[in-house]
Amino acid sequence: MDSDVNLRANISHNPAGNRLFRRPARLVLAGMVALALAACASMTGGNKLKDVADELKTALAGEPVQVAMSDGSVTITSSADYIFPSGGWQLAPGAPVLAKMVPTLSKLQHTKIVVGGYTDNVPVGPQLQAMGIPNNLDLSSRRAESVVNYLKSRGVNPNLLSAQGFGDDHPVASNDTPEGRAKNRRVDITLTGDGT
């Protein structure tokens, strides 16, 4: 017990000892402030991405398009039937659904834009095969590339854009019905980043 009293006496009378106790407290406080600032910055970025989603929902109101936000990303889903002619990969004239997205997407400078193309499971026909499209994976890739090229040509930052074809993988409905196949023929545009 005498040693405890002596230790406390030495610390309380030692000016250097007092600084030793202040330093860890300052470091802990600085760490907490840094974490709080990082959390605020993260929430602000999330809010900006939400603002982008809201802007797209407004621009696409009345169109056969879904805009969904989840896990730090925004996904815009449109039936391929509204963007492309049946069995084709070249955009319909004017590409009205895409044209309505351009004002919002062209403002982005730090948010990645990934265009995913999907098909149903009906094999490509002889006409497409004669054009050099042997399968649904190639068709979906060409569709995604067409959307990317359109967006680039309308001023969307090309460094943010990429295309992926998935063919008939990742169906969202059964391919056993015409309605299900129509849902599986789609284009997803996924935005990830801070919304700027």
Let me know: does 72 contact 112? Beta carbons within 8 Å.
no
Predicted TM-score (pTM) of this structure: 0.77
Give me the residues paired with residue 113 across strands.
161, 191
Selection from 59, 101, 106, 105 nearest residue 83 by Cα: 101
Please report, for the chain, the start and end positions of each structural domain, with discontinuous segments joined by +. 45-192
Which residues are CB-neighbours of 140 under 8 A, at least 6 positions away?
Answer: 117, 118, 119, 165, 166, 167
Predicted pLDDT of residue 45: 45
Q: What is the DSSP letter of 123?
A: P
Predicted pLDDT of residue 17: 52
Residue with tokens 């040509």: 153
Output the six-digit token pair for 5: 């009293």
Q: Measured between alpha carbons, how far is 81 from 12 in angstroms, rounded to an integer?
A: 79
Question: Side by side, which strands form the sheet with 186-192?
Answer: 65-70, 73-79, 186-192, 112-118, 161-165
Per-residue pLDDT of the chain (196 residues; tens, 9 = 90+): 555 544 444 444 555 555 554 555 554 544 554 444 444 444 444 589 999 999 999 999 999 999 999 989 999 999 999 999 888 999 988 899 999 999 999 999 999 999 999 999 999 999 999 999 999 999 999 999 999 999 999 999 999 999 999 999 999 999 999 999 999 999 999 999 999 9
Please say whether the dihedral angle defined by the alpha carbons of residues 140, 179, 95 and 125, taken in this order, is positive or negative: positive
Domain 45-192: homologous superfamily in CATH? OmpA-like domain (3.30.1330.60)
Q: Measured between alpha carbons, how far is 172 from 151 in angstroms, rounded to an integer?
A: 25
Q: What are phi and psi of 173, to 5 degrees?
A: -150, 170
